[in-house]
Structure 1
Amino acid sequence: MLDQGLVERSVTRDLSWGVPVPLPEAKGKVLYVWFDAPIGYISATVEWAEKIGQPEKWKEYWLNPETRLIHFIGKDNIIFHSLIWPSMLMGQDTTYCLPYDIPANEFMNLEGKKISTSKNWAIWVDEFIQDFDSEYLRYYLAVNAPERQDSDFSFKDFQNKINIELNNTLGNLANRVFAFANKNFEGKITACALSETANMAIAEADKLLKEIEENYLDYQVKKNTRLIMDIARLGNRYFDENKPWAQLKENRDATNETLYVCSNLLAKISVAFSPIMPRSMRYLRQMMNLDDNCKFSEAYNLLGDIVLNEVKPLFRKIEDKEIEAQIAKLHSQAIINEGDKSDFNTPEIAPLKELISYDDFAKLDLRLAKVLTAERVPQTDKLLKLKVDIGIEQRELIAGIAVDYEPNNLIGKTVLMLVNLEPRKIRGITSQGMILAADSNGKLLLLIPDGEGIPGAVVQ
């Protein structure tokens, strides 16, 4: 935008609906929606202030030079929010606060296709939350946010994220800790001095918490969902390694410490996840008899004695039949307009590359590889470090699939790998090969054999 300089932009449309342009020479024209719509940001605040009985309160926000006005928008709306809208505000006699920052997201598709409300290829929120908890939608939109590249809303992936991450990881941690405390400690967990191992777990969680706090200020919500779930995984690992069911037979105080550490991790999670799932986190805190209102800075403090309230599951699993019903509903409601099917049916396909000789192709050594371990490469959003078995040896490689695949979900999978690619260092790690994936509308899909494959089997 800065390179091209100022250019003329139309702020009117020839439509039958909209706000009429108040000029005699513009009869029949209406204002372009994003020319007049931002004014609603102010008028909505005015209306809110009137409804709460404090009609002047809107000024504390819009006329306050300390206000940070942040617009979260799609990438197609940058010009109007960063140029036209500030110009409109600056042209007023009243000194309104100007946009402080404008985080612009990429687009989210739906089941591999561009969302189209006119064709009914869309998810209608009021209908969706009749079938699923709205917190599930909030979580999935956060974990799948198109912050740096287009993403895809997939019902199957939605189910996996809720079942495997929310239910099996976070929900399971809360359930096993609280159920054990109720059964063996009458729901009372006592604050105690911490052992070295316990302090290490708390310190690891606080380190993640600090990164989460900074990410929120930098609008990195997607990254935070992973980091917060890392705290939940830490809690489950700590619980498993300490084996409170075995500790209880020999050392009741050590068992209490295990429950106390895990409860503190849950309390930290309840604060960190509040912007994304406020209702679920309030419920988690209520089960622990904690105040609903907690500042982020307080999440670093250790809890006092805990007396549990009634304990119920935080989340529920989504059944296959529910997802099948949603997919069927989506397809049945979709309307394809005759003569305008291109953007609906045909994804953007990359052009074919130039022909190569058979001899060139024969140089490629493609084999099946079984994933043995998978972990994220520190300080990256897209990279995973994999250890794979190719039959004759094991290798390490770097794969740029972290956006679309969780490390734990890859272990045990058989994938297609180019094994004779010259090794190279990526983020200080030597990558010995490349696994193959297809780019489907911005979503990477691993190429997986149809049936059981032997590691090292040659692709022909």
Structure 2
Amino acid sequence: MPKRYTVTAALPYTNGPIHIGHLAGVYVPADIYSRYLRGKGKDVAFICGSDEHGVAIALKAKKEGKTPRQIIDHYDQLIRTSFTKFGISFDHYSRTSRKIHHETAQEFFKILYDKGVFEEKDSEQLFDPQAEQFLADRFVTGTCPICQHHEAYGDQCENCGSSLSATELVNPKSTLSGYKPILKKTKHWYLPLNKFESFIKEWILEGHQNDWKPNVYGQVKSWVSNGLQPRAVTRDLDWGISVPVAGADGKVLYVWFDAPIGYISSTKEWAAAKGVDWKPYWCDEDTQLVHFIGKDNIVFHCIIFPVMLKASERYILPENVPANEFLNLEGKKISTSKNWAVWLHEYLEEFPDQQDVLRYVLSSNAPETKDNDFTWEEFQARNNNELVAIFGNFINRVMVLSHKYYRGSVPEPGKQFEEDKKVLEEMAQLPEKIGHAIENYHFREASQTLISLARLGNKYLADAEPWKLINTDPERVKTIMNTALQISSGLSILCDPLLPFTSVKLKNMLNLDSKTLNWKSIETKKTLLQPQHLLGKTSYLFQQIDDMQMDAQREKLKKSALDIDLEEKILASLKSKTSFKDFDALDLCVAEIIKAKKVKKTKKLMELTVRLGEEERTVVSGIATDFNEEDLIGKKVSLLTNLKPRNIKGIESQGMILLGENSKGNFVFVGPEDQNIVSGTPIK
């Protein structure tokens, strides 16, 4: 067994608030896990902090006419306040803008630099001559070469999800000036991931084949199969941590390099405040390190950061990285830019004192193995039908009857019947069942096992019917109510990791001393509440959520979507003018699709063979969700033929098919009206 646990939760980026996707993917499961370990008496450091560097923050600052410091200060305060109110029990929450982090990140860079780990390379990168600066990925937008989305970023197309480089965009432009960037030589340092392939294979693909989640293992395997490549650890930017070596003026550490080091600097800060040594939590083999992240961070926490830790020869490696999949909202992907989200700070205002309702719903519907969907209908149903009708109803019955029959004093039990013994024996087995689920990162299972105890208590009371026996067999009723109070006490302890606010409220109602009772008590003690123990006041644990509240939330989402659609239409009409020379450089021709097949292991990509007169070409297009393979054969389309070829999933794509979108958001071809036109005909 480990001597201690270091539990990290992905550092939230301080360019926006926290939404339910973040909670379901990272922070709720990490908090459940940490609370459970503490409840078992383990030494735990639950670490997090604000991620405050990188281009997205610099870009947001420029757009809003503010400094990066103003942006990060605002969102850091909003995020940490929201976490506190929601009950995320970090042992320490730091900031990567603090001095201790800058020093720790620079020291880490120097360790690897002095060991000769990095490769120094000159490369050509996009440069804005008008703004007189190199352009990081997010400072460049253009048309995606795969799906033709007009607002793809220099690192990713958010429409089709493809990873890109800025130089691959069609008609790129600088977000700073609106001008077309040029290529200019610059120097950077690279982490040679390719030299650590054998380490990743042995450590994860062989060593963790059976105990890591399939989605995590599969993504790592895919990256390794495609061949790991050197990755830049520095970039040209005026916001970030300065590169601490000679010849690096104007360069900062890439945010993906400095951010995970934030776990270490945050631990240092926590240890200093607590008066303990931080090193055992990161350098001792008897420590179990667990990273909680979303699936978009798998490559950073399973390949890049472990390579950094390994190369330093100073730190332990993570024992597990239980990444979750994505949570959608009402059938659509959560989008911060489109305001299609449930924001935590707004939820806390609109649903006061109902933190545990959201925690329970997100745990019960956690996207552990596949993307899941959050709906307000399910939120209402789980609250009303499970928390109120099962958990809350059982506790209310027990408390009301105990005060009515015994003036709030725990009755002395009489002879136990088989049904009394059976229900207590079943409760004694639940700490191990819930614990096993949590230790294996099965939080959905843990939440349903917990509610099964309340369901068991409800059934026990309904079958025993103490209200019918109180006048004819009061001694039997004492045993029934004593048993029901033992179940209530068990619930107050077991629900702490998942429903911490409910746990505190229930313990107060039962007047329980949480210091003397713990998970082990439920398994070993026959009596959790002693006879004559005085109970506290009765109150409702949960409250009904009505249809009007849910309608208001759905209307709020609908209004957000309409507002964003209107804004996008306005922006679309404001695109900058282009010159005839630029347009004339495009070589457009009519092409005929003669073969079509979906690209394996992708959702949207289709490999097309097109005919241009006597010539045949291969084109990869992101249309697989909108068209069937057989329906494409013989289709005449418009093809941009002089686009630089690009390798996509191992296929060389030699052009781009022009597409539009219909009113439903589906792709449609921009093709010739006359389908009898000869393929290869120029479009003028």
Normalised by the size of structure 1, how large is the TM-score? 0.69
Report the residue type matching 1:327 in the other structure.
R
SS, match of residue 176 in structure 1: helix
Alignment of 1:47 onto 2:238: no
Taking a change above 3 Å as real, the CA distance of residues 90 and 13 of structure 1, as seen in their structure-2 partners, is closer
Please give the residue correspondences for 1:145-164 in structure 2 after superposition, counting only pairs within 5 Å: 145-164=366-385
Give the structure 2 partner of residue 220 of structure 1: 442
Q: For residue 278 of structure 2, what is the aligned residue in structure 1?
A: 58
Question: Which amino acid in structure 2 is aligned with residue 319 of structure 1?
Answer: D
Closer/same/farther in 2, CA of residues 27 and 152 from structure 1, 3 Å limit: farther
- In the alignment, does 2:341 pair up with 1:122? yes
Q: 2:303 aligns with which of 47, 72, 83?
A: 83
Hey, what does 1:438 align to over in structure 2?
none
Checking the alignment, whether the CA contact within 8 Å between 2:355 and 2:501 is kept in structure 1 is no
**CA pair 118-163 structure 1, distance change in 2 beyond 3 A:** same
> In 1, Cα distance between the equivalents of 2:392 and 2:630?
52
Instruction: Determine which of 137, 145, 148 is the counterpart of 2:358.
Output: 137
For the 8 Å contact 2:334–2:340, the answer to whether it is kept is: yes
Rounded Cα–Cα distance in structure 2 between residues aligned with 1:187 and 1:212: 30
Task: Read off the aligned partner of 2:355 and give its amino acid letter.
Answer: S
1:313 equivalenced with 2:565 (yes/no)? no
The one-letter code sitting in structure 2 at the alignment partner of 1:88 is M
Runs of at least 4 residues of structure 1 off by over 6 A? 23-29
Aligned with residue 69 of structure 1, among 263, 269, 289: 289
- Residue-by-residue CA offset, 1:141-189 (whole Å, 9 max, x unaligned): 1111100111111112111111111111101100011001101111112
Distance apart, 1:27 and its partner CA: 6.7
Equivalent residue number for residue 394 of structure 2? 173
Residue of structure 2 equivalent to 1:297:
520
CA contact (8 A) 1:11 1:35 kept: no
Q: Which amino acid aligns with 1:190?
A: P
Q: How does 1:348-427 map to 2 (within 5 A)?
A: none
Structure 2 counterpart of 1:105, one-letter code:
N
Secondary structure at the aligned position of 1:70 is classed as strand
- Structure 2 gaps of 5+ residues are 1-219, 573-603, 605-622, 632-684
Q: 1:186-335 counterparts in 2 under 5 A? A: 186-192=407-413, 193-293=415-515, 294-300=517-523, 301=525, 302-303=527-528, 304-305=530-531, 306-334=533-561, 335=564
Q: In structure 2, do the counterparts of structure 1 residues 319 and 61 end up closer, same or farther at CA, with 3 Å as the change threshold?
A: same
Residue of structure 2 equivalent to 1:112: 331
Partner of 1:102: 321
Matches within 5 A, 1:19-34: 19=240, 22=243, 31-34=253-256
- Change beyond 3 A, Cα 1:328–1:48: farther
CA apart distance, 1:5: 6.7
| Equivalences, count | 349
Q: Percent identity?
A: 36
CA distance in 2 between partners of 1:235 and 1:102 (Å): 36
1:33 Cα deviation (Å)?
3.3
Structure 1 residues 108 and 26: alpha-carbon distance in aligned structure 2, compared to 1, 3 A threshold: farther
Residue identity matched to 2:379: F
| Structure 2 counterpart SS, 1:122 | coil
Give deviations 1:428-447, integer Å, cap 9, x for gaps: xxxxxxxxxxxxxxxxxxxx
Question: CA 1:25/1:331 → structure 2, altered by over 3 Å: closer, same or farther?
Answer: farther
Query: C-alpha displacement at 1:20, in angstroms?
Result: 5.3
CA distance in 1: counterparts of 2:239 and 2:411, whole angstroms: 62
Higher Rg of the two aligned structures: 2
Moved more, 246-255 or 3-12: 3-12
- Residue type at the aligned position of 1:80: F
Report the alpha carbon displacement of residue 232 of structure 1 after superposing the two structures with TM.
0.7
**Contact 1:11/1:31 (<8 A) preserved:** no
**How far apart are 1:58 and its partner, in Å?**
2.8
Give the 3-state SS of the residue equivalent to 1:109 in structure 2.
Answer: strand
Report deviation, 1:71: 0.9
Q: Which residue of 1 aligns with 2:582?
A: none
2:406 aligns with 185
Residue 67 of structure 1 and its aligned partner are, at CA, apart by 1.5
Match for 2:518: what amino acid? K
Residue 20 of structure 1 contacts residue 28 of structure 1 at CA under 8 Å; is this kept in 2? no
Tell me how far 1:18 sits from its aligned partner: 5.1
Q: Which stretch has the larger CA shift, 238-247 or 288-297?
A: 288-297
Alignment root-mean-square deviation, CA:
3.0
Distance (whole Å) between structure 2 residues aligned to residue 265 and residue 156 of structure 1:
30
DSSP-derived class of the 1:250 partner = coil
Give the Cα separation in 2 of the matches to 1:39 and 1:82.
Answer: 14
Q: Secondary structure at the match of 2:568?
A: coil
Aligned residue number for residue 57 of structure 2: none
What is the CA–CA distance in structure 2 between the aligned matches of 1:169 and 1:295, rounded to whole Å? Answer: 23
Structure 1 position 351, deviation (Å): 6.1
Counterpart residue number, 1:430: none
- Alpha-carbon distance in structure 2 between the residues aligned to 1:172 and 1:154: 24
